[in-house]
Amino acid sequence: MTGSTELRDKVVLVTGGSRGIGRAIVLAAADAGARVAFCARSLGPATDEVVAEADRLGGPGSALAVRADVASETDVEALFDAVIDRFDQVDIVVNNAGINRDALLVQTSTVDFDAVIATNLTGAFLVCRRAVQEFLAQGDGGRIVSISSMSQAGATSQAAYAASKGGLLGLTRTIAKEYGHKGVLANVVTVGYVETDLTRDIDATLRRSLVAATPLRRTGRPEEIAAVVRFLASARADYINGAAVRATGGLEEVPT
Ligand SMILES: NC(=O)c1ccc[n+]([C@@H]2O[C@H](COP(=O)([O-])OP(=O)(O)OC[C@H]3O[C@@H](n4cnc5c(N)ncnc54)[C@H](OP(=O)(O)O)[C@@H]3O)[C@@H](O)[C@H]2O)c1
């Protein structure tokens, strides 16, 4: 255990915590003293490893993995039930689960478009709706942090992904306006290019242009995104609401 107390007494729920950025967010929350739950569409060695590492950082029993597909309303409801059953409350929710199906608009099938929207946007809606219901019932405010992308401004071959991430921004700003007076804060982290399974198949030329267009001349690390989420979840961010915080290494837009 690290002894950090920044999120002590808080319960954090992270969607898509089995690998990549979500895994780093789970571990950052555990390191900050929170009890932390996360979901993925399947459980196995990867989720076991995340639970073990979070328990090592936060203490035995501080982490919970739940199988849930955020695109399923039934799964999302069961996910929250499981978190409250185990930890009695939920204080901070991180919409991290995301997928892409990159293709030019005319080559994007309706099935692929719907799949991306279902996970990245409808999933976030289902999670936010239940989260706010819980926050209001608990009466002590709450935090929502959603992981968006530079692509929210539009990006070649990413019609579905860009639409989902742009929608996430609108959803977040609406929650910020509707529930700020109840102490519910909602923000987005606009992420640049981080090497994970999601970006593994990116074309080598595009990869080079992304790095070249990034003033830091390198890709981001999942831990660097998790550090921003940890800040937004903490009391140090008590006056940040409806914001899109950029963690892009200075990348201004996705090269075409
Ligand atoms: N990597 C980047 O450069 C980058 C840039 C900008 C934004 N982002 C955003 O950052 C977030 C995390 O991306 P990543 O790069 O870490 O991706 P990743 O390595 O592919 O991890 C995605 C995570 O989400 C889970 N997941 C996917 N669909 C799900 C669903 N329907 N229900 C529940 N869990 C689901 C995955 O687990 P299962 O597959 O087991 O379900 C996995 O844990 C995404 O929202 C992504 O759009 C990433």
CATH number at residue 90: 3.40.50.720
Q: Is there a domain that residue 243 lies in?
A: yes
Nearest-CA residue for atom 6 of ligand 1: 149
Q: Is there a domain that residue 31 lies in?
A: yes
Q: Which residue among 67, 79, 99 has the greatest number of ligand 1 atoms within 8 angstroms of its CB, and so is best to mutate? A: 99
**Helices 73-87 and 123-138, packing angle to 10 deg:** 40
How many structural domains is the chain composed of? 1
Task: State if residue 67 touches ligand 1 by the CB under 6 angstroms criterion.
Answer: no
Nearest-CA residue for atom 44 of ligand 1: 98
Q: How far is the CA of 18 from the centre of ligand 1 (A)?
A: 9
Task: State if residue 22 touches ligand 1 by the CB under 6 angstroms criterion.
Answer: yes
Q: Which two tokens stand for residue 211?
A: 């790095």
Evaluated on CA atoms 212, 218, 222, 227, the torsion sign reads negative
Q: Is 34 left (phi over 0), alpha (psi -120 to 50) or beta?
A: beta
Q: Is there a domain that residue 5 lies in?
A: no
Check if the beta carbon of residue 81 is closer than 8 Å to that of residue 73: no
Q: Is there a domain that residue 111 lies in?
A: yes
Q: Is there a domain that residue 165 lies in?
A: yes
Whether the pLDDT of residue 4 is over 90: the answer is no
Q: Is 133 left (phi over 0), alpha (psi -120 to 50) or beta?
A: alpha
52-87 tens-digit pLDDT: 999 999 999 999 999 999 999 999 999 999 999 999
CA distance 19 to 167: 24
The predicted structure's pLDDT at residue 3 = 55
**What φ, ψ does residue 15 adopt, rounded to 5°?**
-85, 140
Q: Which residue among 15, 19, 77, 228 has the greatest number of ligand 1 atoms within 8 angstroms of its CB, and so is best to mutate? A: 19
Q: Is there a domain that residue 15 lies in?
A: yes
DSSP-assigned letter for residue 220:
B
**What φ, ψ does residue 18 adopt, rounded to 5°?**
-80, -20
Full residue range of the structural domain in which residue 105 is found: 11-247
The predicted structure's pLDDT at residue 2 = 53
Q: How far is the CA of 196 from the centre of ligand 1 (A)?
A: 9
The predicted structure's pLDDT at residue 255 = 87
Which numbered atom of ligand 1 lies nearest the CA of 120?
45
Please confirm, yes or no, whether 239 is among the known catalytic residues: no
Q: Is there a domain that residue 122 lies in?
A: yes
Residue from 161, 179, 193, 239 carrying the catalytic annotation: 161
Q: How far is the CA of 43 from the centre of ligand 1 (A)?
A: 15
Average pLDDT over residues 143-168: 97
Q: How far is the CA of 139 from the centre of ligand 1 (A)?
A: 31
99-128 tens-digit pLDDT: 999 999 999 999 999 999 999 999 999 999
Task: State if residue 193 touches ligand 1 by the CB under 6 angstroms criterion.
Answer: yes
Whether the pLDDT of residue 237 is over 60: the answer is yes
Q: Is there a domain that residue 119 lies in?
A: yes
Cite the beta strand spans of the chain per DSSP E.
11-15, 35-40, 63-67, 92-95, 142-149, 184-191, 244-247
The predicted structure's pLDDT at residue 100 = 97
